[in-house]
Amino acid sequence: MKTAENHRTTPETRERVDLPVSGMTCAACSRAIELALAAAPGVERASVNLATNTATVEYDGARIGVRDLVSAIEDLGYGVPPSEVRSDAEVPAQRRQLAVAVLFTAPVVWLGMMHWAPWLQLALSLPVIFYAGAGFYRAAWKALRHGSANMNSLVSLGTGAAFLYSVYATLRGAHEVYFEAAATIIALILLGRLLEARARGQAGDAIRRLLELAPATARVVRDGKEIEIGAAEVSPSDIVAVRPGERIPCDGKIVDGHSSVDESMLTGESIPVEKDVESAVFAGSINRAGSFRYQATRVGRGTMLERMIELVKQAQGSRAPVARLADVVSGYFTLGVLIAAAITLAAWLFFAPFPQAMVNAVAVLIIACPCALGLATPTAIMVATGRGAARGILFRGGEALEAAHRIDCVVLDKTGTITTGKPEVTMVAPAPGFSESELLGLAASAERHSEHPLGKAVVEAAAARGIGLEEAGDWSAQAGYGVRARVNGREVVVSRPGIQVTVDGRLAGEIEVADTLKPEAAEAVGALRRLGLEVWMLTGDRRQTAERIARSAGIEHVLAEVLPEGKVDAVRKLQAEGKRVAMVGDGINDAPALAQADLGIAMGTGTDIAIEAGGVTLMRNDLNGVAEAIELSRSTMRVIRQNLFWAFGYNTVGIPVAAFGLLSPMLAAAAMALSSVSVVTNSLRLRAR
């Protein structure tokens, strides 16, 4: 195997894999796996997500393979099951273990309260310890063999100590036994894990809903007949037929027919979109009205839906920078707890008999399990990215989600972001002796063969007003000036920009053509300002024109007459003033500025959006999504801080309370289970935003 010194990773050999991991129970587990993977030769980056039970590894395929990565995980005592096995088998197994634990623990607790029948308590405890709790002991033993410790180590030590002491006391004929404590702790922790698994399942609903959108079959036209095939068998250029009520199986462009299509699952926009010939359609969307045929352009993993799913998976498996604190703490936490438990045991032996000292030490071990710590950040990210996807807001990862909450300045590129990107006639001002319709008719007749956007806008305005056009002779275009033509024997000159029209050398009037504001622009800018953000407009327009558009949108700050290559410098200038800048653009022409900004937000248009351009992509071409993305980020960071406060505070308070003998092991187990469930439940509140 080549060493790092004589081998450099190339784009051709760089690979990425998401591995499902079973057996993780706390932050110490995920941290141990992450460190082991990161230390493997050829691994460039490793991230382990406790909430999704997934290890994401970027590695050099020329130096290490997936089998080696799996072995590194399995050597630590964890499993790497097939994805379909993980979701189907773990929860039923947990239910069976919990059922056995509850069935046998209930009589043990009753007998323990009565101080009756230690031998019967021992017999009833055996299924709980050696079946329901077997997973704890196996995992703890594997961790010990590799010189590490985790939540399983703490639970195993605590319940094992209580059980073994009780067996010893029973053999000696004593009645002061703690079988009920050992059994109850296992039952409560299993209950907590099951509730936690169910809550985590709700947090991962976003991906499951996306996966369910793609239909299994497609109706394609072959030899003039419609035949049904598997959606995976559709090839680019195939003609696909879609009937009312059916889901679209792959991306493409309509060649025949028209309809209205529900694209809410992709864009978050609830109003169906009208589709006609040449309109783009996307896999997973629902055909609501008419029938149509379209030519497939992207199939399988290349569709917009699959790209969305992959982006959401990456985001949910990523780690926000705020999680690093929990990572560092969890690396030392379990060892610290073991030391604290040993000190508790030793200290109490000076004041109380061994049974009491042992009970207090067990309480310390149980209350300190770092489950909530490991779930605090990833569960919130899972829910937030899923919620964002449902609203057509795609975060590239935890870094982008966290960065958005720090933004205090938003720079909006004008064309295509604040405005429609399509020039329209906004004013017709005829000179004396000419009417509006005559002026517009003459100008449109002269411009009818022009390819210039301003000329096309004049022609479209005349058509919209029902003004007929005349044939234009002696037509000529003058670069940077306009067009000249003879209309009905009169020489018509249309000068651009700032359209002026002359007829036989006499000024006939002016026509104003402008890029009009999007309908939601003013509302969206208002939402950004209510969030306390400073809003700037960036444009290449002349300052006078730019300031007029900015005023219409409610924007106070304008960067005008900026050339395309100057956009990056404009963003840098604002950053140099100490501002944390979000740049909002179309994601293609603005890519360098999006990359330079603290957060790049690419506006989608319902077509082939540039997902790579920024940290956030808005699937619908709606400026309101910018405020929604930032507000979602702020809410997510609030929830993460609440989760971390609860997780740290719980352990900070719980350990000394247990050490001073004020908390029984059973209450400690209940509190520990509650802490994990409460963190996940708190994260689930983000779904309602």
- The amino acid occupying position 655 is I
Helix axis angle for 436-447 and 453-464, nearest 10°, is: 130
DSSP-derived secondary structure for 34-91: HHHHHHSTTEEEEEEETTTTEEEEEEETTT--HHHHHHHHHTTT-B---HHHHHHHHH
Contact present, 21 and 48 (Cβ < 8 Å): yes
Question: How far, rounded to the nearest angstrom, does the alpha carbon of residue 255 sit from its chain's CA centroid?
Answer: 34
Distances (CA, A) of 437 to 166, 428, 469: 100, 9, 11
Parallel/antiparallel/unpaired status of strands 500-503 and 557-559: unpaired
Q: Look-up: residue for tokens 């994260």? A: 683
DSSP-derived secondary structure for 362-428: HHHHHHT--HHHHHHHHHHHHHHHHHHHHTTEEESSHHHHHHHTT--EEEEEIIIIIEEEEEEEEEE
- The amino acid occupying position 597 is A
Q: Alpha-carbon Rg of the chain, whole angstroms?
A: 33
The neighbour count for residue 83, using CB atoms within 10 Å, is 12
Active site residues: 413
Omega before residue 497 within 30° of 0, cis: yes
Helix axis angle for 324-348 and 27-39, nearest 10°, is: 120
Please, what sign has the CA dihedral across residues 593, 595, 601, 606?
positive
Distances (CA, A) of 491 to 207, 476, 506: 64, 12, 10
Which tokens belong to 382?
Answer: 């899972």
Burial class (CB in 10 A: 0-12, 13-18, 19+), 646: middle
Question: How far, rounded to the nearest angstrom, does the alpha carbon of residue 310 sit from its chain's CA centroid?
Answer: 10
Neighbouring residues of 455: CB distance < 8 A, sequence distance ≥ 6: 447, 483, 494, 496
Please, what sign has the CA dihedral across residues 655, 660, 665, 670?
negative
